[in-house]
Amino acid sequence: MSDAVHIERAGPIALVAIQNPPVNAASHAVREGLWNAVETLDADSDVKVIAVYGSGRTFIAGADIREFGKPPQEPMLGRVCSKMETLGKPIIAVCHGNALGGGLETALGCHARVAIDGLTVGFPEVTLGILPGAGGTQRAPRLTGIKAALDLITTGKRVNAQTALELGLVDRVTTGDPRDVALAAAQEVLYGTLKTRAVRDIDVEPDDAAIDAAAKALAAKQPLLFSPHKCVEAVAASTMPIDDGLARERELFGECMESPQRAGLIHAFFSERAVTKIPEAGATPRKIEKIGVIGGGTMGSGIATAALLAGLSVRLNEQSSEALSRGVATIEKNLEGAVKRGKLAEDKRRAVLDVNFHASTELSDFADVDLVIEAVFEDLDVKKTIFKSLDGIVKDGAILASNTSYLDINALAAGTSRPADVMGLHFFSPAHIMRLLEVVVADKTAPEVVATGFALGKKLGKVAVRAGVCDGFIGNRILSHYRKVADYLVLDGATPQEVDAALEGFGFAMGPFAVSDLAGLDIGWATRKRQAAFRSNQERYVSIGDRICEGGNFGRKTGKGYYVYGGDKPVPNPDVEGFIAAERAEKGITAKTFTADEIVDRYMTAMIAEAARVLDDGIALRPIDIDAVFLFGYGFPRFRGGPLHYADTLGAAELKRRIEAYAREDSYFWQVPSLIAQMAEDGTTFASRN
């Protein structure tokens, strides 16, 4: 039929193979090929039954991402599914690998579904800001019931073949080669031992309680999102005659397509792929099988855990036996957590520790490792000493990496005889869970070392982003700037909880003061003390956080910070109110009122402004790299696409206007970045720089 869809006849059976590698995406060629195949086989009186399967490693893994953002081309998948469903001959789907999104909808348009063990099915559309638009919201409830369909469609969760069978999405689970299974299943249809039916002919059992419960749960948990609520409306329409329900589904799908959230979520989706395009992409990564981790604290133990879960051999080093024991205990606890989350089999947990893990207080044990990641506390002199020692211990070609959050990788590299083998690998806490990894490239870092950092990130399941050297790299440099705005807002009249509530209303899971408590106030305190010698006397400095720390209160880990912990939920720390009042009085500040919108505007404008400077300085390669950093490491609301995608929804002219207005209060902090000034003048966007 075409390069993407091939017909094979075997007597009264026709086999239709989808051949669109690597994942048989539902591209225009596949849709057109299926349409033509159905028409051809419908007209062939010798063909009595049709079986559709996927060649290669999967059935249909979903939509073709290369078509995102382009004008749609007929036939649309919904028409293809309806054409198959109303065919006068039985047509069955044999699914292996993945049947996701449009792939599952294609299978639901057939008259029976056979799953090959290992299959994964699901409707991930909601994670892209849309809903299943090819009949998924109408056919799934007819097979699974409304409650189960809502659970799948509003969450985007994926289930295995056995669960799909239990739900009714597939009719049987078997093993074998997809073509062989397709031929055998078609023969069973001829024999009458595999029953077929059109899903459209199944009545839906109304379940108003499930619809109401889903709507209320989403209103409480995801009030800012758009598409999950439209998913509920679409599933609710499944009790209508199917053609009416399908029409309603298309209407709701169109509303989702027009939503700004869809654009933001698609941008977030592509950011994970865009960041892999680096200047060093052509370099050959070095082989990494054995790594050393220096430091058994929260970060070091998390990094070691991530490496163990990825199948790497890990050696952990600490200065004392006591610290080493604490690190080992943390790693064991982390692995137990991985077992509970289903990330590691219980029988493999012990083997991981017995075979792949070694703990020691001797750096000489690192002589044969391929990579060392230093994860001690943020002291440049301490780190320099460690790097100098490692330089004389590790083998030629071994890479030396620092997990520093702020410090100068060039200074660390300069203290070794192998500066080309030195880079930063900035993990985010908890390192075995958080997905972001900043690969910090120093002046003399070799291309193959950068490529190795990205290869390691991929192996660990991280989203690696290339960053240049500056204080804080990409994320923490920007954070250190916009975090000051939160303090300024409090100094000028807001409360910490008002700031947190406004930012949570914008879409952040936690506000900046709650995040500081979670991370540990002592971390920011140490950074501020380190930067004190370089701080301009023109800068407004807010010491409220310092006063909290001086009392030995560092947030959650001590039970008290901006909030007090230990009860059912955190409550404001009453001491903070006194610190705020004292500082306002000392500086002669009369408190004023800020609305939630004003808080968000100032906070986000500061974030965008510093992000523009990071981009202009070449610390980040592209705007989308900065977006990825904040999406995967800083809890930026995914549906907004990232700070610079969000900036484009405001426009450079509006950003410039805001900064100039705020500068009337504080001309030192609020300065229009040259890049934003240029964009405001020529009408360009951050997206145009991707």
Contact (CB, 8 A) for 371 and 399? yes
Query: Does 21 sit behind a cis peptide bond, omega within 30 degrees of 0 on the bond before it?
Result: no
Q: Which of 32, 105, 249, 610 is catalytic?
A: 105
At 453, the amino acid letter reads: G
For residue 320, give both structure tokens: 């004392």
Distance, CA of 579 to CA of 557 (rounded, Å): 21
Buried b (16+ CB within 10 A) or exposed e, 30-44: bbbbbbebbeebbee
Q: Give the whole-angstrom CA distance, residue 293 versus residue 86.
A: 61
Edge to edge, what strands does the sheet with 91-95 contain? 5-10, 13-18, 49-54, 91-95, 112-116, 172-174
Under DSSP, the state recorded for 204 is: P
In whole angstroms, give the CA distance from residue 513 to residue 524. 11
Helix (H, G, I), strand (E, B) or coil at 316: strand
Quick one: how far is CA 314 from the chain centroid? 26
Q: What's the CA gap between 614 and 608, in Å, rounded?
A: 10
Q: List all residues 6 or more positions away from 490 whose beta carbon is below 8 Å from its beta carbon.
A: 496, 499, 542, 544, 580
E strands within 349-434? 357-360, 371-374, 399-402, 422-427
> Does the annotation mark 125 as catalytic?
yes
C-alpha to C-alpha distance for 51 and 112, rounded to whole angstroms: 9
b/e 617-626 (16+ beta carbons within 10 angstroms → b) = eebbbbbbbb
Q: What are phi and psi of 115, to 5 degrees?
A: -100, 140
The span from the CA of 517 to the CA of 561, in Å, is 6
For 379-399, give one letter per residue: b (16+ CB within 10 A) or e.
eeeebbebbeebbebbeeebb
Q: Are 82 and 139 in contact (CB under 8 A)?
A: no
Query: Dihedral through CA 236, CA 101, CA 87, CA 204, nearest 10?
Result: -20
3-state secondary structure 12-73: CEEEEEECCCCCCCCCHHHHHHHHHHHHHHHCCCCCCEEEEEECCCCCCCCCCHHHCCCCCC
Of 125, 249, 438, 583, the active-site residue reads 125
Query: Which residues is 8 bridged to in the sheet?
Result: 15
Is position 448 annotated as part of the catalytic site? no
Q: CB under 8 Å to 414, separation ≥6 — which residues?
A: none
Q: What is the DSSP letter of 160?
A: E
Q: What share of the chain is helix, strand, coil (3-state, %, to 5)?
A: 55, 10, 35
User: Of 108, 101, 87, nearest to 133 (Cα)?
Assistant: 101
Q: What positions carry a catalytic annotation?
A: 105, 125
